[in-house]
Structure 1
């Protein structure tokens, strides 16, 4: 798969200090300091869903950024084997030991607050763009209970796309899944506000294309690929991600109609 230059390269940082765990869900992300003097939310390759959650985070976050939504900078984060030696908490120590090597991290938005739909209102176009994105990515994790959105400097930022692309945990019938509606959209925190889905669909189908999708998929590190999959090579594995996303984009009217129908039933 050839890569062109329409997207910037992701930076790589070295983690120099583990600060505190964020005990949310089963993945145990953590706030950590890197050698560029910035703080990051570090996602570990040794956590429950392994590198597949990191791949979903990378693909989902960079597609969202390309479509103009606000995403904290994503970086690759190298974790040295020395980190697991001095951590007193055995669970965290095991996680660090299992995560030596290349992980993923996002800039920590210090001072941000969790988005609350009862407190912060957003316009129909932004809501529609986020709902479209999550239908496209099969993101099950943007609900009232867990919005995975932050308000930072009075703007809405999207975080945590690790639960997206859930088909890749088994790869069963993945071509067919690309053309299916996203039924979990009925639980989306922004669904009732998303009244411009068809207009957003037309806009995003012009912006997003196979070349951009290939560029983003090409960012996946080779060492994260071919783990618990039916593929024989990194190239074959990457091509499957690109084909899934391209096919889903081509048939976006299916998930847009399902989302519009769910919205009509909810309002």
Structure 2
């Protein structure tokens, strides 16, 4: 009996997805008491040593968690990728990214004072602006990812604006995963397929955790990077940081 092997599927299954750990929550804990405990820089080094493929930070204007000074120091000491997320409508953010030159900047349409990111860019409405900002960062040699909802038209708009990657905002997937995971992931598969067809890299983040991450990776095996902070740090309270990073890496195959 002749067995036909789908080489494309095999390649997809072996695609390496990087785990970038968002350390904002570690900074939040430090800031709650003042001083330097926990030490954010030591945490970044240790997370890298424990097996993470990158460090993500999301500085906000009020510096309520990661401080701009933290970002400068983290860039100096880590050996893996640094991903800086934030609102490029803030000049302070633009200046920080151009100064530190991380491997990746993720453009997020935060509103001032927003607790956490809760929507992606309207890449059609803001195409001209995004095209301009993407060009600014790319000219500095920085890979650009645009934070988007899982909508095919938004993927097309991001591609038209010239981005290198999109980051799929996965809150809706996480929220609906337990009730109907097939329906929950379907828009993300369609969006990721469109991104792949247009030559864009695909990242994902927001509310991904140890329960829903493996299924997402199975359905979108070519995802390049997931950025996880809150859930991972919460799990670390019970299971330990080093152990948790390895558990999350295992979910990514």
TM-score over 0.5 for the alignment?
Answer: no
Higher helix fraction (1 or 2): 2
